[in-house]
Amino acid sequence: MSRIQNNLSLTPQILLQAYSVGLFPMAESADDPHIFWVDPPDRGIFPLDGLIIRRSLAKVLRADRFEVRIDHDFDAVIAGCAKTRADGAGTWINPLIRQLYRKLFDQGHVHSVETYLDGALVGGLYGVALGQAFCGESMFHRATDASKVALAHLVAHLRAMDYQLLDTQFITPHLASLGAIEISRNQYHARLDAAVPSGRFEVVDWSNRPAYSGARVLEILSQGPEPQN
């Protein structure tokens, strides 16, 4: 990891270049004005055919309990992700990161998936789309299953668009319970190179993505593992 001393030199294009070689930025805290680059020795990813949908979540999806939208309110999603969690853990999303990802969102390189309940935003996630890779950054929830539903919709859309890689950066017990696995840095870089041809950062418009029903999401994901108890 290397700390950036001059944040004024960091641009959205440099950020995209960093992602293309396996780096991502973090801050020590929301109050730290600096960021550092991370390329962990072990990387968390979601195999796009391996998302685990347990029966309880499948029931929530079929019932369409949540309204799901794409790129509707990115600012609210990153704000939700940046809040201190219920367990008291802080956030690595500082103002510089929020500004940079907002610029990438405006350019069409960052996307958010949001879940709403009775018109209120209750969960969501965001990440960087690069070639046929989606680098997940963070997700949050204020209602049970809200972020899991967002993740299921994300994976369904990525599969429908022939994406090859869904990066989760680090693996946690929660992500592992949903099917995330850990691979080595070298394995990750090989998959990234295959998914992101050198220098190709074309924008893929997600604004016209269809609003999938939960049943359609389960249909798209049906080639993965069967719902588990």
Q: Taking residues 175-190, what's their average pLDDT? A: 96
Which pLDDT score, from 0 to 100, does residue 35 have? 86
Point out the least confidently predicted range of 6-15, 25-34, 143-152: 6-15
Q: State the Cα–Cα distance between residues 53 and 216, nearest whole angstrom.
A: 14
Please say whether the beta carbons of 155 and 46 come within 8 A.
Answer: yes
Q: Which of 221, 227, 228, 226 is nearest to 49 (CA)?
A: 221
Q: Taking residues 145-159, what's their average pLDDT? A: 97
Point out the least confidently predicted range of 9-18, 37-46, 62-71, 103-112: 9-18
N-to-C CA span, the chain: 40
When pLDDT is cut at 50, 70 and 90, the band that residue 203 belongs to is confident
Which pLDDT score, from 0 to 100, does residue 197 have? 80
Instruction: Say which amino acid occupies 49.
Output: D
Q: Taking residues 47-51, what's their average pLDDT? A: 95
Domains of the chain, by residue range, sit at: 41-90+109-223
When pLDDT is cut at 50, 70 and 90, the band that residue 226 belongs to is very low
Q: State the Cα–Cα distance between residues 24 and 8, nearest whole angstrom.
A: 17
Q: State the Cα–Cα distance between residues 183 and 114, nearest whole angstrom.
A: 28
Helix (H, G, I), strand (E, B) or coil at 168: strand
% of the chain beyond a pLDDT of 70: 90
Q: Is it the case that residue 7 has pLDDT exceeding 60?
A: no
CATH topology for 41-90+109-223 is Aminopeptidase (3.40.630)
Q: Is it the case that residue 6 has pLDDT exceeding 90?
A: no
Q: State the Cα–Cα distance between residues 51 and 149, nearest whole angstrom.
A: 12
Higher pLDDT, 150 or 82: 150
% of the chain beyond a pLDDT of 90: 73
Q: State the Cα–Cα distance between residues 65 and 75, nearest whole angstrom.
A: 23
Q: Taking residues 70-95, what's their average pLDDT? A: 81
Q: Which of 202, 201, 219 is nearest to 210 (CA)?
A: 219
What is the model's pTM? Answer: 0.90
